Amino acid sequence: MSALEKVILADREYIADIRHDLHAHPELGYAERRTNGVVRRELAIVGVEHVDGLAGGTGVLAYLPASTKPDSALTIALRADMDALPITENTGKPYASQSLGVMHACGHDGHTSILIGTARALSKVERPNNILLVFQPAEEGGAGGRKMCEEGVLNGAVLGKPVDRIFGLHGFPLLGVGQIATRKGALLASADGFEITIRGKGGHAAMPHFGIDPIVVASHIVVALQTIASRNVSPLDAIVVTVGRIDAGTAHNIIPDEAHLIGTLRALHKATRELGEKRITQIATDIAHALGAEARIEWLHGYPVTWNDGEATDDFRRAVEPAFGEALVAEEVEPVMGAEDFSFYGERVPACFYWLGLLSKGMDRYPNLHATDFDFNDAALPVGIKAMCSLALADYAHLKTSSGEFAARG
């Protein structure tokens, strides 16, 4: 067992206690004030320099410089998200949420604890690289990651040096404890919301010829939207167009003036995302026109595709396979049509996001993310810390050219 593994093992209970404490006190996006306090306290205990008050106040950026020559060392960033979800917990655990209606149902308590454990372990060993630890708020829809980027956490403006590589993880119920997995290219989808307002002409349900029925128009649009996946996008690519809500009408004998369609668009490529938006807009507008109505579309642009850079993903494998053994690093996994705001970091620097297995031996299934019975698996904490430390301490010499300059930065 390496010295690092001993340090991680010795911290097992300490980190699990932190996770239980965070789990008992979940906080929604941009309100992670207590969580922020725990992160700062733990960084201070091991003397890790950090800047507080980022991304609306609760974001923290910590820095561990390379042990020798930090000016010429490469800089590796590791990211954790800290927010919880508006769900009422139903785990029955002794450390269950003490805040009614708020719960760590996505395991961000685990992610934050892993990055705290990583800071503790890295503070005790020689480091060939500069390491930035990104504790971000508001992953669940609030785009805290974008704010962290915009405030300069990746370019050395806040603390440390410009980032050469960034890595992040998420607990994954379908993978065994001890395993990690990722893939090159899209790991998670982009996610955009749309709202279509169809303006017709209301009147008596028994005299439809005097009006323009927006419900009939909306129905045609919903059906026609299905052709985007089936006729516009390659069968080998993936897209989701879901209308999740239809609002129209008040009574059986009235044709309303308006109908509303609310939905989501998901894609695994930027070009497919753009095509989806164009086709939804065209189909809604032109079908409404053909039937004598008007359609107005509002877009709520969400997260981009979480895209794993090819070289950063090779670096990931090179770093973790010696520590885990090839058998524990799963083969290329399928992408997931959920979304992640880690994608904003990946738009700026070479990035790799990976799954950390949560399913214990002997379990048939692990509770789903965002479910009321979900709880991060403590057994996965040291595994996540080991993976993050391996990435932080790996040899990235191939990124430097013979002249000592960085071959690729940003």
CB 364, min distance to Ni ion, A: 23
Find the residue with minimal CB distance to Ni ion.
Answer: 106
Strands 165-176 and 75-81: parallel
Q: How far is CA 361 from CA 95, 223, 342, 358, 387, in A?
A: 23, 44, 29, 10, 20
Tokens of 356: 């950390």
CB 35, min distance to Ni ion, A: 14
Q: Among residues 111 and 269, whose Cβ is nearest to Ni ion?
A: 111
CB 339, min distance to Ni ion, A: 10
Assess contact for 254 and 204: CB atoms under 8 A: yes
Residues that bind Ni ion in the complex, under the rule CB under 5 A:
106
Q: Among residues 146 and 220, whose Cβ is nearest to Ni ion?
A: 146
Q: Among residues 72 and 368, whose Cβ is nearest to Ni ion?
A: 368
Strand partners, 186: 307
CB 366, min distance to Ni ion, A: 14
Distance CA 356, CA 383 (A): 8
In the block, tokens 């479910």 appear at: 371
CB 93, min distance to Ni ion, A: 19
Nearest alpha-carbon partner for 271 in 239, 310, 231: 239
Degrees, nearest 5: CA angle 122-126-129? 80
Nearest alpha-carbon partner for 113 in 394, 306, 359, 380: 380
Q: Among residues 359 and 393, whose Cβ is nearest to Ni ion?
A: 359
Q: Among residues 106 and 218, whose Cβ is nearest to Ni ion?
A: 106
CB 139, min distance to Ni ion, A: 6
CB 338, min distance to Ni ion, A: 8
Q: Among residues 165 and 170, whose Cβ is nearest to Ni ion?
A: 170
CB 249, min distance to Ni ion, A: 37
Tokens of 372: 């009321």
CB-count exposure of residue 193 (10 Å: 0-12, 13-18, 19+): middle
Distance CA 381, CA 39 (A): 16
Q: Among residues 89 and 277, whose Cβ is nearest to Ni ion?
A: 89
CB 108, min distance to Ni ion, A: 6
Q: Among residues 31 and 261, whose Cβ is nearest to Ni ion?
A: 31
Q: Among residues 111 and 127, whose Cβ is nearest to Ni ion?
A: 111
Nearest alpha-carbon partner for 83 in 149, 143, 150: 143
Single-letter amino acid code for the residue at 361? K
Distance CA 206, CA 203 (A): 9
CB-count exposure of residue 176 (10 Å: 0-12, 13-18, 19+): middle
